[in-house]
Amino acid sequence: MSTVETKPAKQTANIRLSDPCAMVIFGAAGDLTRRKLFPALYHLAENKLLSDNFCVIGTGRRPYSHEVYREKVVEDLKEFATANPDPELIKWFVERIYFLQGDFKDPASFKSLNELLNQVDTTHDTKSNHLYYLATPPDWFGPIADQLGKAGLTSQEKESWKRLVVEKPFGDDLQSAIALNKQLLGSVEESQIYRIDHYLGKETVQNIMVFRFADGLFEPIWNHNYIDNVQITVAETVGVEGRGGYYDGVGALRDMLQNHMFQVLALTAMEPPARYEAEIVRDAKRDVFRAIRRMKSEDVIRNVVRAQYAEGTIGSKAIPAYRAEPSVNPESMTETYVAMKLFIDNGRWKNVPFYLRTGKSLAKRTSEIAIRFRRQTLTKFDDMAIENLSPSTLILRLQPDDGINLRMGAKVPGPVMKMDMVEMNFCYKDYFGAQGAGGYETLLYDIMNGDHTLFTRADNLETNWSIVDPILNYWASAPKDTLHTYPAGSWGPKESSNMLSKDHRRWRRIPANT
């Protein structure tokens, strides 16, 4: 295997500090906060991207004092942020952390929040910039936004800003997404809302646009004349991990495909934006979503496969069937795997199938985009059986080893004309000396600086649901035998492979070591 030269590139861009702000985290005692948000904030501080004029107010029902909560944050940072914490940086960081006990339904709690915000604005000179992060179950998104609005905490002045961050899931169908958008817009403007998808903070996801539009190498052949099909895979080895009660009401289509995978699809398929500006990029993604061919019931039957994992083995660990997981309905019809074929009806992607698959308890944890190019037929090589070679494939690896891989044909050394597949491989950790950021660092930094580029706009979100709703509606009344099974530790049900076989194609085989 050939690899690119491993030397770090020079940083030439001017680095901007985040804006001063007070960040309020609703659900501050939850897993998202301790595992993702505080480690991401610490890493921003470690990389000298976090303003000195910054603080965090955690809020929740637990009766923490400021001191007790700070001690908890220190322990969480040691576990999830870094194995070798800098004592001085930890001290600087936790001095800026506060906790407010409160009830999200109680207006008095928001009055107390306002008072504490006034205090920390003065203490830390945050310029009255406030970032409200809803790290709560989705049922609380609307009510918290309502209370913030009624308390006057979302009103913006010329010299300060107020921003609202909403985690997924954002609705569970088109109707609920429209209703939630309407509710949020009763308290804040669309320009104040940041609908976060941590996948869009991953280095290779962001690199899709650089790869396509800055280098000029592949963009001329990024179309139906040269590309045979595109495959997007998001595979997890974990099952529901004790979250069966939540997951059983969601499923793989809502949990992964409607948001994460559609966003990756849009970046892969969109037209070159005139400028790298938030609204221009989001308009380009919107055009992709609008061009995706909608499915009728007969299309769902042909082009969508849903399945549940049965018992199996991953490594040496025995995995119970999904229906045997705690808090899962023993007769559940919820899918833990979904594969589908989509078409984008525009000039660039005419008749090019996009195959998407995602699932839990699969053979390997990996996320990738595989661009399969058309096979070239050259008379000179007809007697070499090149049809037995795999087509050239460009692979953008999103996780766990962020990077880019190109598989192509080459002559085997020797006097006989013989061809085989070779690879060129680029890995972030080899070239830049470190793995890319986990996603939240980038997204929090962008929120603090008012950059919407990597966040979902309301119209894009609703368009996504309009693609998914016909599938959900068909499944709601479909026969039970349309839900297939697959052994835990496999790559999914045979019906998924059959869907591609009918097109004389197959899923890319993902080796265990890539």
Tell me, what CATH number does 188's domain have?
Answer: 3.40.50.720
Whether 323 is covered by a domain: the verdict is: yes
Output the pLDDT for position 4.
38
Picking from 142, 176, 196, the residue at the C-terminal end of a domain is 196
The mean pLDDT value of the chain amounts to 91
Using 50 as the pLDDT threshold, list the residues of the chain that sit under it: 1-12, 379
In a domain, 133, yes or no: yes
Q: Is the peptide bond before 169 cis (omega within 30 degrees of 0)?
A: yes
Give me the phi and psi of 368, to 5 degrees please: -160, 160
> Are 265 and 408 part of one and the same domain?
yes
Predicted local confidence at residue 452, as pLDDT: 95
The domain of 458 spans: 224-501
- Confidence at residue 401, expressed as pLDDT on a 0 to 100 scale: 82
116 with 158, same domain: the answer is yes
Q: Whole-model pTM?
A: 0.90
pLDDT digits (tens, 9 = 90+) for 156-211: 987 899 999 999 889 999 999 999 999 999 999 999 999 999 888 887 788 888 88
Q: Do 229 and 191 share a structural domain?
A: no
Name the nearest CA neighbour of 354 among 300, 292, 297: 292
* Identity of the amino acid at 360: K
Q: Are residues 274 and 187 in the same domain?
A: no
304 and 182 belong to one structural domain: no
Residue 441 located in a structural domain:
yes
Domain end marker among 177, 196, 215:
196
269 shares a domain with 171: no
Within a domain: 9 = no
Can you give the CATH number for the domain in which 457 is found?
3.30.360.10
Angstrom distance (rounded) from CA 266 to CA 273 = 12
Name the residues annotated as catalytic: 260
If asked whether residues 246 and 165 sit together in one domain, one would say no
Q: Which residues of 251-278 are buried (b: 16+ CB within 10 A; e: fewer)?
A: bbbbbbbbbbbbbbbbbbbbeebeeeeb
Task: Answer yes or no: do 245 and 185 share one domain.
Answer: no
User: Are both 434 and 329 inside the same structural domain?
Assistant: yes
For residues 326 and 411, state if they share a domain: yes
Q: What was the pLDDT predicted at 435?
A: 55
- Identify whether 458 is part of a domain: yes
Look at residue 514 in the predicted model and tell me its pLDDT: 52
> Considering the domain boundaries, does residue 207 fall inside one?
no
Number of domains in the chain: 2
Do 307 and 247 sit in the same domain of this protein? yes
Residue type at position 400: P
Q: What is the pLDDT of residues 217-261, one digit of tens each?
A: 899 999 999 999 999 999 999 999 888 999 999 999 999 999 999
* Residues 171 and 277 reside in one and the same domain: no
Question: Could you tell me if residue 511 is inside a domain?
Answer: no
Answer whether residue 363 is part of any domain.
yes
